[in-house]
Amino acid sequence: MTALAVTIEDIRAARPFVEQMAIRTPLKPAPKLSARVGRPVHLKLESLQPTGSFKIRGAAAKIVPLTEDARAAGVVTASTGNHGRAVSYVANALGLSATICLSEHVPAGKVDALAGFDCTLDIAGPSQDAAFERATAMSQAPGGPTLVHSILDPVVLAGQGTCGVEICEDLADVGTVIVPVSGGGLMAGVATAVTALAPDARLVGVSMEGGAAMHASLRAGHPVELPEVDTLADSLQGGIGLDNDTTFPIVRELVDDLVLVTEDEIWAGMRHALHEHRLVLEGAGAAGIAALLADRIELADGPVAVVCSGANAELDQVARLATDVPAVAEGWAG
Ligand SMILES: *Cc1c(COP(=O)(O)O)cnc(C)c1O
């Protein structure tokens, strides 16, 4: 077996850089979910990060330690929104220039949110792949900016792993850790940390039913591409890259299960977060809650940590969620 791209030492090394930009998020007890699954459930509120998602961890791990020369050349990335927002935030905080290449499918609210940062937006075509190609080409030009890739850069993955270290420190007997998965950057980091610090814990990923590239790749035994499908969990859209030698091997090696949730289940997860916790989560951020409510996850003994990865829902969605009162008390009736 070749070595995995990230180690617990890499995560420990990233931590001081992450701590300059990200907050240590709370683990909030979730009494109704706990009663439902018969174990203490805690929500790891990455939605409270300054940019509304965990992605600030990986961005900080990569950008904060850059040399003066590299800082002068700035940074570039391709993003469905939250990663671009995190890269811009960290770059702005350090006074660096940031260029964000986006696909034209990114929702208006996320583009507007990026407009609030000091960064150059580059709408680079119909897909994430086109955006990524443009960002790569810029970074390869002489004196070009540093590419901050959300899943293929081991330093970024190490940054995301600090979320897993915090879970293990705050919940030493954690039995199951539930993580939303798209390209698997968050899961790769968290799985590396949890495997080192709580080796008996069960690791379960959650993706949406339509266009779950990591799920299809695990099935196939190698990275595959799927067409992008519209989903409430737009932060979970996108591929894993056909040459993925970072997150794919880590997820295949360390993760116990990867389950899929429907659009209705994602909506129910978002609604549960708002109604029961007064917590705004975007679809991706609520995927773990959705999977628990839908009984999709086989749980180990001991407490459950659910990573609530992001807050950045569109406001009209939040308005609809607020007034969407289920006819029967949610899910309790079975
Ligand atoms: C990026 C993102 C994810 C998925 O992260 P990957 O590292 O691509 O698996 C999940 N939730 C939110 C809110 C995100 O922004």
**CA 240 – ligand 1 centroid, Å:** 12
Q: What is the spatial distance between Cα 134 and Cα 126, in angstroms, rounded to a whole number?
A: 12
For ligand 1, atom 4: residue with the closest CA: 182
pLDDT of residue 334: 39
| 3-class state of residue 176 by DSSP | strand
Q: Quick check: 102 and 111 in contact, CB under 8 A?
A: yes
Amino acid at 88: S
User: Within 10 A of 182 (CB to CB), how many other CB atoms are there?
Assistant: 29
Tallying the residues shown for the chain, one arrives at 334
Indicate if ligand 1 lies below 6 Å from the C-beta of 82: yes
Indicate if ligand 1 lies below 6 Å from the C-beta of 189: no
pLDDT of residue 108: 75
pLDDT of residue 333: 44
**CA 300 – ligand 1 centroid, Å:** 24
**CA 333 – ligand 1 centroid, Å:** 31
pLDDT of residue 131: 86
Indicate if ligand 1 lies below 6 Å from the C-beta of 176: no
Tokens describing residue 200: 């008996």
Indicate if ligand 1 lies below 6 Å from the C-beta of 282: yes
**CA 207 – ligand 1 centroid, Å:** 10
pLDDT of residue 244: 96
**CA 303 – ligand 1 centroid, Å:** 23
Query: Which ranges of the chain have pLDDT less than 70?
Result: 1, 80, 109-110, 327-334
pLDDT of residue 1: 59
Indicate if ligand 1 lies below 6 Å from the C-beta of 146: no
| 3-class state of residue 173 by DSSP | coil
Sign of CA dihedral 34, 45, 18, 101: positive
What DSSP string runs through 75-137? EEEE-SSHHHHHHHHHHHHHT--EEEEE-TTS-HHHHHHHHTSS-EEEE--SSHHHHHHHHHH
- Reported as a single tens digit per residue, the pLDDT across 168-180 is 999 999 999 999 9
Locate tokens 């209705």: which residue? Answer: 264
Indicate if ligand 1 lies below 6 Å from the C-beta of 53: yes
**CA 272 – ligand 1 centroid, Å:** 20
Indicate if ligand 1 lies below 6 Å from the C-beta of 283: no
Indicate if ligand 1 lies below 6 Å from the C-beta of 195: no
Indicate if ligand 1 lies below 6 Å from the C-beta of 55: yes
For ligand 1, atom 13: residue with the closest CA: 310
Indicate if ligand 1 lies below 6 Å from the C-beta of 231: no
pLDDT of residue 128: 75
**CA 257 – ligand 1 centroid, Å:** 17
